[in-house]
Chain A
Amino acid sequence: MELYNLPVHELHRLLVERQVSAGELTATFLERIAAVEPAVKAYLTLTREQALAGAGAVDDTTGRGEILAPLAGIPAALKDNLCTRGTRTTCASRILEHYLPPYTATVVERLEQAGMVSLGKTNMDEFAMGSSTENSGFGPTRNPWDPERVPGGSSGGSAAAVAAGEAAYALGSDTGGSIRQPAAFCGVVGLKPTYGLVSRYGLVAFASSLDQIGPLTREVRDCALVLQAIAGHDLRDSTSAHVAVPDYTAALTGEIKGMRLGVPREYFPAGMDPEVKTAVRRAVDKLEELGAILEEVSLPHTEYALPAYYLVAPAEASSNLARYDGVAYGHRAGGADNIIDMYCRTRQEGFGPEVKRRIMLGTYALSAGYHDAYYLKALKVRTLIRRDFEQVFAAYDALVTPTTPTVAFKLGEKVGDPLAMYLSDLFTIPVNMAGLPALSLPCGFSQGLPVGLQVIGRPFAEATVLQIAYAFEQATDYHLARPDLGVRGEK
């Protein structure tokens, strides 16, 4: 396999064995980016010089004979809603097109500490609002498996970059499925950690009570390694949990005998893609074969998660995005002679249609006279959703579900119908509403497109989730499949 198609843990071995230098590895990825980026469009900003300098520093370390950290010298990509000091951070929005943050997000600092070679910032739905990356202010990203199709979203650029060999791993953010859904669509592993496990400091907020940062990788082991580097308490995030971070790779035993796994019946509704259903059923059989005990369970409030989410998330977003007003940074509309006109025009010009739609929805849901009927009601429903999970987790170690109801859809297919677009996050949203950890990994194909299996765990039980995912992955070979991008040099 080409270097750019190898998982992180393999690349680490090659670096340790000095079969390749970080500089060579970085050059390989930069070449790969040059070759496939015109077709994929995963990146908004490339940081070529920074990457080469970072790789050089790692090679100096190796030259001194120091032990390499697992992520040292490994080229990675960052979703463009993670603040990077002095490097453009746009959230794929015109309103932040030229924005240079004066500080760096905690997760990025931690990865830099771990020796990350940062290749650049990836495309996304504007302010992470969307499920296809078509809401980017700078044009959509294509699915490496089929350029006519979306990579999913909102972390579409990160998922596509990993799938296309344009980065060994990437960070994304997940508010209602924005890591797992694109991971499923692009055939990679994506983990949304428990709310509070990973610091949100420096993640440009969409919906603060739901947002989490997580890894997108080729394999489960890589996912464990990246999570290891970014997890843990941060003094700068008040919602960051004080929990001990276990050794996640220690959970990768391949052993799941006797584990009790629930399969919620609400996650197989009528009308879902039958091939997706079949692939997930087969995965369930596989897990059973591996010795786990699988039983059907019920999460009765599942269908209410989506409408509740589309009140809570836009409400928080309407407030979080109020700061983009043209006063202290970002785009400012010209020609306004008073502050209110300046605000209204700046925001009208700077935001795309989906962002405005959600700001409108959220503002309405919080406004006088509607607050209780919409926003407060949604918070109560959130309690019910959380209780559903608590009840099943009393008897089960984890849940397995499809990640999405369908495989990647065609570009433009759902652009005119916001509600249809929202429905593609049907199976991922309840997890965010309850603050749980969940991972998507490849579990088959439908029409030649990847299907994702979602593993949902108890709060802070990432190790269990990784253990189950790893056992499944090692017993199958879906993770070895790579898209054919029709580029010279491709196998």
Chain B
Amino acid sequence: MSISLEEVEHVALLARLELGPAEKEAYTQQLNAILGYMEKLNELDTENVEPMAHVLPLANVFREDEVKPGLAPEAALDQAPDKHDNQFRVPKIV
């Protein structure tokens, strides 16, 4: 499989990155080189192999349903690039 410039543009939008034209070219090339290397995985027959998402055999880790105080609004909004009335302010959503 190889990735086209158009796919790179699509993936960049999915990932919310505004790549410049030179970057798109470079990433297309580099991603193709890297994905070419990944082809190696196809040497392996994994038909009957279970995928491993977790290395630990853990299950059922819970916390009790208890309320604890969180952050004061001033602390929650302390790092906000833009705020208004104790809310985060963002450019309009189209």
Contacts and interface: CB of A to CB of B under 8 A. Distances in A.
B52 interface: yes
Interface stretch (A140-148, A177-185, A362-370): A362-370
Interface in B4-50: 7-8, 11-19, 23, 27, 30-31, 33-35, 37-38, 40-44, 46, 49-50
Contacts of B54: 209, 239
Contact of B94 (A235, A329, A338, A348): A338
Interface string B58-92: 10010100000001000110111110000010111
Contacts of A337: 91-92
A386 interface: yes
Nearest to A370: B1
Contacts of B44: 301, 304, 380-381, 384
Contact of B51 (A332, A373, A380): A380
Size bracket, chain A contacts = 35 or more
B58 A241 contact: yes
Name the prevailing secondary structure of the A interface residues.
Answer: helix
Interface in A379-396: 379-384, 386
Contact of A328 (B56, B79, B94): B79
A382 B79 contact: no
B55 A332 contact: no
B16 A325 contact: yes
Given A307-B41, A360-B17, A340 B11 contact: no
Contacts of A99: 79
B15 A363 contact: yes
B69 to A, nearest CB: 13
A338 to B, nearest CB: 5
A212 to B, nearest CB: 10
Size bracket, chain B contacts = 35 or more
Contact of B52 (A345, A374, A383, A418): A383
Contact of A239 (B56, B75, B78): B56
Contacts of B11: 360, 363-364, 367
A307 B46 CA distance: 15
A457 B19 CA distance: 43
B49 A344 contact: no
A485 interface: no
Nearest to A345: B18
Interface stretch (A61-69, A256-264, A351-359, A402-410): A351-359
A489 interface: no
B94 A303 contact: no
Contacts of A367: 11, 14
A418 B30 contact: yes
A218 B88 CA distance: 46
B18 to A, nearest CB: 4
A307 B71 CA distance: 42
20 contacts: A100-B78, A209-B55, A303-B40, A304-B43, A304-B44, A322-B16, A327-B81, A330-B81, A332-B81, A339-B93, A342-B91, A344-B17, A347-B16, A353-B23, A361-B35, A364-B35, A376-B51, A381-B46, A384-B49, A422-B34
